[in-house]
Amino acid sequence: MIHYGPAHTDDDLHAILALQQANLPKAISAGEAREQGFVTVEHDFPLLREMNDLFPHAIAREGTELAGYALAMMPSFGDRIPVLRAMCERLDRLSWAGVPLSELRYGIMGQVCVAKPYRGQGVFAGVYEDLGRRMAPHFDLLVTEIATRNTRSLRAHEKIGFVEMERFSEPGVEDWVIVGWPLADRR
């Protein structure tokens, strides 16, 4: 049985990093990235721990096996993760339901990943539900960016209720979609 909850221990964080490493584009074939999706950001342990200390990441475990995770990130970390800078610079210029994000309390979902043996079993939705339930008392909205070529991730986010807010391109880097997920109904 899969259990969902916050990451508490260094072992949890090391397991997240191991799953992340296994799903970076450099670790998988182009075909696997296209069909199964991939993660973009490569965190180090001190940064992952600092992010977790401010708001614990969501993890899914079956026994001792990590089935998946969703990383919580405060906007203040945007400057420390180069690939997220362009998104973070845009956020305060965007709006949600006619309200500028600068007037809302929003958090950033830093990354989501499901281990191969657990894909298609609801783990993606489960880690988001756990993260959303715990973030809802503190935030109005959860935002993230997804590479447009990561079609599996785009579909999965849309399926659980994320809504496209903006598309933008970083020439020579990536084309992105910024999406938002309202948290009010999870309170």
Q: Categorise residue 121: left if φ over 0, alpha if ψ from -120 to 50, beta otherwise.
A: alpha
Q: E strands of 7-64, at which residues?
A: 58-62
Cβ contacts of residue 151 below 8 Å, gap of 6+? 34, 37
Domain ranges, ordered by start, for the chain: 3-186
Q: Could you give the 3-state DSSP secondary structure of residue 75?
A: helix
CATH architecture for the domain at 3-186: 3-Layer(aba) Sandwich (3.40)
Residues 6+ apart with CB under 8 A from 82: none
For CA atoms 94, 96, 102, 107, the dihedral sign is negative
pTM to 2 decimal places = 0.92
Return per-residue pLDDT of the chain as tens, 187 residues: 999 999 999 999 999 999 999 988 788 788 887 888 788 888 999 999 999 999 999 999 999 999 999 999 998 888 888 888 889 999 989 999 999 999 999 999 989 999 999 999 999 999 999 999 999 999 999 999 999 999 999 999 999 999 999 999 988 889 999 999 999 877 6
